[in-house]
Amino acid sequence: MSYDPKAVTGQAGSTPLEHYAFVWSDPVDYPTRDVMEFHLVYAGNLLKSGRSSHVWEKHQIRRYLHPQLKKLWETHPLLSFYTQESHWDRRGRQFVVEHHEQTQVENIARHFEGYVPLVMADFGMVCELDVLFLRAEPAGNLLQHKDSGGGDIDNRMKVLFDGLCMPLRGQVRLRGDDEPDPSPMYVLVQDDSLITALKVKTGRYLMAANDADPEDPAQACVIVSVNVKVADPTRLPYGISL
- Written as one string, the DSSP assignment of 90-134 is EETTEEEEEE-SS-HHHHHHHHTTTEEEEE-GGGTEEEEEEEEEE
Model confidence pLDDT, tens digit, residues 2-21 = 434 443 333 333 334 445 56
* Of 106, 62, 61, residue with least CA distance to 83: 106
User: How many CB atoms lie under 10 A from the CB of residue 134?
Assistant: 17
Q: Mean pLDDT, to the nearest integer, of 130-156? A: 69
- Judge if pTM exceeds 0.85: no
Domain boundaries, the chain: 2-82+99-170+192-230
pLDDT of the residue at 2: 41
pLDDT of the residue at 137: 73
Q: Which of 26-35, 78-87, 215-224, 229-238 has the highest mean pLDDT?
A: 215-224
Is the pLDDT confidence value at 177 over 70?
A: yes
Q: Mean pLDDT, to the nearest integer, of 35-64? A: 85
* Of 75, 87, 76, 73, residue with least CA distance to 182: 73
Question: What gap in Å lies between CA 106 and CA 13, rounded to an integer?
Answer: 58
